[in-house]
Structure 1
């Protein structure tokens, strides 16, 4: 027992001495593993971190689960009727009006109450009780238009339109971002170029429309679920499907309301026209006028009749889905890019330990002659590889899991309007990255020890005999005799030192 303990202590001392003696070799392995594990863990955790950051942002701003759209709008009581559904947690309506600004098309939205709350970046929100016409805008308005908070921004639109806001000039009081629009893609419009360039938000009192332009709702079942998860997608789809009948009913009620308004206008027009005529011709004129009026409103009736309703979940939001795709691309990059570093680290370990075992042949022979087993002798080299991979991998995890996601997210924030990155623990990815490095290097060391410690003590204590010369494949080719001497040496070395050749090739590829 005492002898075993002494042997163990001697081997530990030998290991420490070897690490100090070959510190450059040890540090190179440490550095390669650190880079490999850092990039693998960093790129792999970037996707969960990005999605977690977005999910927290959506929860904080209460992003809608579904948006109801229609070409004829929705009755003012539509949100209240949606709340009667067991699936719906909250619902509210909003207004939208597309106008021109500096030749560009912008969408003017009503300020949300509880759903799709705005992220106030600078300034303040408009005061609903203020008599002054105020608005909040996206950063792009200030950048493109060279405005600042406190300036007035003018809009232009056809004055015959019934959906115009109360004013066409508003004073900017703040800069905001909406969770609905993560990118510059704000949808399409029938105004101007057809592409909405930016959004402006006004108090609801600025809109005089008799119907909501859209209705948004959140679901009971998705309240505790994170965005971009299968559980959320499944529950959201189930809830949206359950609202199809209610949506059809709401659309039918809106159609009925508009049809009654048209009938009322026709009747009033006919009545006001024929009231001044003689009683004997009143009936005849009334019939003719009504026929003409019905022809005039026929296109409007057709538009109402053909109007449809659309239930749009988050999966129909371009920015929402594009962000998820880009996050998944980062994960896919993490599956491929670090492989080159793992290969280089493995090959470097192979050449380093092979050289180390070769340099210590005599010492290994002495250990074997003293009765030490190959396993106890090989522990030194296995431990050498383990310490290099474990310490390098641990360091790689620390910087990779924090610095790499932050760098990636800072690049994506130039495209997506999101708050700063929130890191989420990913123990499986950490374990996978570190254990892969340890397995590769320790496994490589085990292979080297297995082949290098087979010889007898007598063979190990003598210098290794040089390899027997052999012809390479190219020497059998007709053009071999025409090659210069140095070229022949180069080809022979390429075939003789295959590992060095492979390392050089991978290094150039990297």
Structure 2
């Protein structure tokens, strides 16, 4: 490549900088979307994996209803593939916070450092009567290091604030999506605090497991192999012959599984939206490069006459597109691997607590994203050059013959055509005369409109879930659960307060559902008395739309859990209670539910599985008029020692939110809006460029600037309106697929788009069209009539 040829390439970039930047920006948006959401998820996975490795989180957990012995620990440690095994002891204890009774899980620190808590402040307890607590306790109690904690009849001194690696979920999220009963806090005490010959669990780590990514298939395969070996030997390893062992991996941890599900939803968005960006990028690059080649017809003819090969000429335009795409790709990778993950991390920190969120650059994925857009845009550029390079130098050095006029469809409808003004007739003819521009503009605007509406559709669907769950499905105002054996005290409390209009006593527990393949999901169990009017408190509606009641020969299962476990009416599954005992049941009906998972049983079915039906909770309608009063009353019940949990549906609805997806969707809407702006700007400038002589002629004929603006802008706005009208139903159609991809274990998305979202989407796109027209009007004002109308001859 000689110097003059190189200079010509740089001259083309300087002259066509708008075209160059539009290709670069579209590429940057597409690559940023493709790599950014992926990188945000991968960084979270990477940070969690490193944290788990540093804290030596278990790979396998073994539990048994009869407890486990030191002999069991030794047997597990001798299994091939096990690096270390340690017996652990934990128990549920009672404490008091702000005068209210609270439950806590007290864990004894192990000597081998498995599941070691991460020290946020202070130090781990080393002496008797010392204790480490989690941030939730410090926040709610207002305690400081050195203060005392009363547990039963004993008093402990706080030595440190720690993060439990077995639960990294931030406080507040579980109450919204999972209504299961659990302990309030986690405490850690030194070894020797509890004297017991039996362990509540055995934790094992695997050899070389730290070298594997805990979220990878390779890690799952390694764990499964050891689990199968333990199951094969458990008849010999168990000290109590015939007592079952329950062998679990890390997916049994709620926060571990929840994080995978949350990040999977973001990955689903990251796989779908960039495809639309890519298609729009191809359309825009094809339009831009086709116009560039047409503008330089004479130059191409001169090159060919001077002996330049087609390959050399191709190289010029391919280099132009390559440099624009490469610049955009690098900016997109910078945005995708640095800026966007930092933005997402701010939201993730509200959901999951990790000491450090680590950023890393995936070279293969980053380069792959750029190469994908390079291939698409360079292909479009080569296609744009092909038709011109087929012509001879003589024909290329002459101006292209003007497009032949033709009658449009509307001209055949004389009743309409004859009533149009002259300028409107010209507008209609121009729209259909430049068919390529028509399809490019309408197609580009359609894609951008569809993207924006998809964002609003998912946002509306998420916002609608709270209303559907807490106003349509849950008709009660209060769910209160008492300490075991204290239900009568709870009923007396409600009667004394006089706040409840009526209530229904129920049995509420936390259970685990296990399907035939061993896949498990933790849910809330609710058993109701015989002949109870459950419909007044909870709307039990099957997925077929039929109102149902709990049956004596099966259970009602919410649709979220049924989907996750692959179950339908008539299938069987195992219910595992808190004592790790499993009971086989049949799914009688699958019912609608939007947030959380619940299995409903009749009194007879409960007694057949678990024994005597003893209520421990109640569903109540409150007389309090306002939501604030209902929430305040539920909060006041927690001040009583006999109350484990008291939840107001009004408070849940107010607290309901999904900050993670809201942030992602806001980002998508902004980027789709940016794409719409670039598309409109590119097509508008191309339109002006290819009609330079026509517009100069209109100026010569005496059109004022304002009339010229109206002449051109009318076409852009009409094409934008057409793109919006097509893009809205297309966006609604695409959003249906996205919400399927975004379904999570605790959430069932039902696609819902508010009418105002259609209006906002159309308004956003139309505002961009008006802004682009305002910018390009200055280009119209600068058209030099003599320069535009001069002939090559």
* TM value normalised by structure 1: 0.77
Q: Is 1:136 paired with 2:122?
A: no
Q: Is 1:74 paired with 2:68?
A: yes
In structure 1, distance between residues paired with 2:72 and 2:311: 78
Q: What residue number does 1:214 align with?
A: 201
Task: Select which of 247, 253, 257 maps to 1:321.
Answer: 257
Task: Select which of 109, 112, 116 maps to 1:111.
Answer: 109
Q: What residue number does 2:5 align with?
A: 11
Q: What residue number does 2:184 align with?
A: 197
Deviation at 1:246, TM superposition (A): 4.6
In structure 2, distance between residues paired with 1:364 and 1:209: 89
Q: Is 1:173 paired with 2:159?
A: yes
In structure 2, distance between residues paired with 1:38 and 1:47: 14
1:248-293 CA distances to partner (integer Å, 9 max, x unpaired)? 4554x358xxxxxxxxxxxxxxxxxxxxxxxxxxxxxxxxxxxxxx
Task: Select which of 431, 442, 445 maps to 1:504.
Answer: 445
In structure 2, distance between residues paired with 1:171 and 1:503: 65
Task: Select which of 211, 225, 229 maps to 1:238.
Answer: 225
Cα 1:367/1:89, change in 2 over 3 Å? closer
> Could you say what the CA RMSD is over the residues aligned between the two structures, in angstroms?
3.0
Task: Select which of 446, 455, 459 maps to 2:382.
Answer: 446
SS in 1 for 2:157: strand
SS in 1 for 2:350: coil
In structure 2, distance between residues paired with 1:315 and 1:140: 23
In structure 2, distance between residues paired with 1:108 and 1:345: 57
Q: What residue number does 2:534 align with?
A: none
In structure 1, distance between residues paired with 2:268 and 2:15: 40
Native 8 Å contact 1:45 1:331 kept in 2: no
In structure 1, distance between residues paired with 2:72 and 2:174: 24
Cα 1:373/1:483, change in 2 over 3 Å? farther
SS in 1 for 2:26: helix
Deviation at 1:447, TM superposition (A): 0.9
Select the structure with the greater relative contact order (CA < 8 A; seq sep ≥ 6).
1
In structure 1, distance between residues paired with 2:344 and 2:106: 33
In structure 1, distance between residues paired with 2:399 and 2:310: 19
Native 8 Å contact 1:52 1:422 kept in 2: yes
Native 8 Å contact 2:286 2:384 kept in 1: yes
In structure 2, distance between residues paired with 1:384 and 1:483: 47
State which structure, 1 or 2, has the greater radius of gyration over its C-alpha atoms. 1
1:149-204 CA distances to partner (integer Å, 9 max, x unpaired)? 22223345xxxxxxxxxx5432222111122112259999xxxx832232111123
In structure 1, distance between residues paired with 2:155 and 2:52: 31
Deviation at 1:435, TM superposition (A): 0.8
Name whichever of 343-352 and 91-100 sits farther off: 343-352
Native 8 Å contact 2:58 2:114 kept in 1: yes
SS in 2 for 1:468: coil
Q: What residue number does 1:227 align with?
A: 214
SS in 2 for 1:92: strand
SS in 2 for 1:243: helix
Deviation at 1:10, TM superposition (A): 1.7
In structure 2, distance between residues paired with 1:416 and 1:13: 54
1:24-64 CA distances to partner (integer Å, 9 max, x unpaired)? 33223222222222221222333333322222222211111
Native 8 Å contact 1:221 1:235 kept in 2: no
Native 8 Å contact 1:349 1:441 kept in 2: yes
Native 8 Å contact 1:105 1:194 kept in 2: no
In structure 1, distance between residues paired with 2:420 and 2:254: 63
Q: What residue number does 2:669 align with?
A: none
Cα 1:488/1:182, change in 2 over 3 Å? farther
Deviation at 1:354, TM superposition (A): 2.3
Cα 1:483/1:146, change in 2 over 3 Å? farther
Cα 1:470/1:214, change in 2 over 3 Å? same
Deviation at 1:66, TM superposition (A): 1.3
Native 8 Å contact 1:494 1:501 kept in 2: no
Q: What residue number does 1:41 align with?
A: 35
Native 8 Å contact 2:35 2:336 kept in 1: yes
After TM superposition, list the pairs within 5 Å mapping 1:218-367 onto structure 2: 218-220=205-207, 222-249=209-236, 251=238, 253-254=239-240, 308-367=244-303
Give the gaps of 5 or more residues in structure 2.
451-671, 673-793
In structure 1, distance between residues paired with 2:250 and 2:28: 39
1:436-483 CA distances to partner (integer Å, 9 max, x unpaired)? 121122111111111233333333333322222334456667985597
Cα 1:453/1:70, change in 2 over 3 Å? same
In structure 2, distance between residues paired with 1:326 and 1:43: 12
- How many residue pairs get aligned? The number is 436
Deviation at 1:79, TM superposition (A): 1.9
In structure 2, distance between residues paired with 1:479 and 1:214: 85
Deviation at 1:410, TM superposition (A): 3.3
